[in-house]
Amino acid sequence: MDDDHYFSADPAVAFKRAPVSASVWGHDLELTSGSGVFAQGRVDIGTAILFRETEPPPPGRVLDLGCGYGVIGLAVAAAVPDAVVTAVDVNERAVLLANENAAALGVTDRYTASTPDGVPADATYDEIWSNPPIRIGKDALHDLLLTWLPRLAPGGRAVMVVGKNLGADSLQRWLGEQGYPTERVASAKGFRILVTRRG
């Protein structure tokens, strides 16, 4: 399928798919990543630590924020049969790959990836899971989180993995200052697992 011209993600990069195998929460996932998408051909170390240091979320509505080729949300869909997962990414190649992966795993009835514009404005979530795109810069990251955290249902939580050297501790403080109390629940290999709650 040659749809390269369709994608806005770095059109200078030829779109080449690359397989990724991941074992998450007791489930083996065979996924496809691609050029121009974060962590091509692998599960990045931050996401791997997120999986290792957490249990799957309870059944409910889950948002995979900054989904890339979909590994976090698809792991949730595979491990939690009653989870309904929405995945968002600004990268249209990532969205395409995430939806292709959902089809390959047979979870399209409860997994949808789209760009942010494709998400209904009134949608709310019980959980947000993310390896957030720290590299977009602090201001853009803060805007991103303040766009999506208010969509947590009352009592909902966000689970994020953030590199210590990328500002995990200052992000934890900042989230608390915004009215989203955040605790560090694990730390490994220079990464923090942060859990943010909506009161």
- Residue 2 pLDDT > 60: no
- Helix H, strand E, coil C: the string for 132-149 is CCHHHCHHHHHHHHHHHH
Share of the chain above pLDDT 90, in %: 83
Q: Give residue limits of the domains in the chain.
A: 17-197
* pLDDT one-digit tens code per residue, 122-171: 999 999 999 998 888 899 999 999 999 999 999 999 999 999 988 899 99
Share of the chain above pLDDT 70, in %: 93
Furthest-apart CA pair in the chain: how many Å?
47
Interatomic CA distance for residues 142 and 133, integer angstroms: 11
Mean per-residue pLDDT of the chain? 92
CATH of 17-197 given 3.50.50.60, 3.40.50.150, 3.30.565.10, 3.40.190.10: 3.40.50.150
Report residue 35's pLDDT band, with 50, 70 and 90 as the boundaries. confident
